[in-house]
């Protein structure tokens, strides 16, 4: 087996972007989270990330009751890496497995 080639600049390889499904309703209930942003600035940064940034193409729904989105669980690390402050919880906590 060949050893993996080291990066010439010492940087770690970039995280591969998941292939997003077209609509949020194509995900199972367990794979959807409700994220709530800590401030207006974090909401703006999250919106920019999902509408035109690295998460462009990921499905989402806005929560009309607050500064929140419903998004695939796989998006959470990308919001965190961008330095956006938020909390998250299952979107449908009462769904039986």
Banded model confidence at residue 60, pLDDT cuts 50, 70, 90: very high
Instruction: Specify if 48 maps to a domain.
Output: yes
What is the pLDDT averaged over residues 74-97? 89
Is the pLDDT at 6 greater than 70? The verdict is no
**In which domain, by residue range, is 61 found?**
36-90
State the total domains in the chain: 1
DSSP string, 28-92: -GGGEEEEEESSHHHHHHHHHHHHTSTTTT---EEETTTTEEEEEGGGHHHHHHTT--EEEEES-
Domain membership of residue 40 (yes or no) is yes
Residue 74 belongs to some domain of the structure: yes
Is 43 within a domain? yes
């Amino acid at each position: 087996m060949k050893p993996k080639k080291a990066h010439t600049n010492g940087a770690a390889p970039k995280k591969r972007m998941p292939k997003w499904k077209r609509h949020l309703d194509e995900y199972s209930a367990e794979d959807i989270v409700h994220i709530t942003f800590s401030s207006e600035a974090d909401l703006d940064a999250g919106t920019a990330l999902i509408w035109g940034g690295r998460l462009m193409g990921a499905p989402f729904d806005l929560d009309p009751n607050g500064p929140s989105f419903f998004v695939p669980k796989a998006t959470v690390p990308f919001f965190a890496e961008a330095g956006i402050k938020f909390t998250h919880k299952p979107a449908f906590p009462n769904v039986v497995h």
